[in-house]
Amino acid sequence: MAKKGKTKGYNYYKEFMVVSNLIVKASNMLNEILHDHDLKNTDKKLAKLHEIERSADEQKHEMMNYLFSDFLPPIEREDIIDLASALDTVIDMIEDILRYIDMFQVPKITSEMLEFMEIIEKSALKMHDAVKDLKNFKKPKALQEAIIEINRYENLGDELYLESVKKLYIEKNDSLNPLDTVALIRIYDYFEKSCDSFEEAAEIISRIILKNS
């Protein structure tokens, strides 16, 4: 159950919002990179995306350091740790998408990748809404609505993943050799995992609501 009293000198809810803002920023940046895809510049763009991921890591480490000596956090320590880790994973997965595109030297962004990006961007915005309202977990209506939407987007990501991989085999595109096909499947896999990571963070928020309602 939530503990009474306020944490002095550190606002966990505010710091979670900092990370959720970074998630939105990372998703927007990746979307722009994919719409203006150029393998020659991918290294530089990956470095910029990594800066956001590193900022999220630093935010998480700062929170864990404070939590270690905090006598009275506003919610259970386990929930703070789990949510901080889940939000950090969301940004990691967004960065991994571009890492794999760079590693496999994908010359062209497919329409399916852009569809995945639309889902990820919408998920990022809903996650920000959920984190922003986390402090109001005792009145969880808005929180629950955001979580429902995140779950819906995750389902759309699952469906898109199945359709995207199936399409590679149905069309039997002569321009794709087996290695290209394997590369695209791996990249679609990371897009789908990115969608999953939002749902996993939303499940932790749901758990916080249930514990404190």
| 135-193 pLDDT, tens digit each | 887 777 888 899 999 999 999 999 999 999 998 888 765 666 778 889 999 999 999 99
* 170 or 208, which is more confident: 208
CATH number of 12-212: 1.20.58.220
More confident residue, 90 or 134: 90
| Euclidean distance between CA atoms 198 and 152, whole angstroms | 11
Give percent above pLDDT 70 in the chain.
93
Taking alpha carbons only, the member of 158, 132, 160 closest to residue 146 is 132
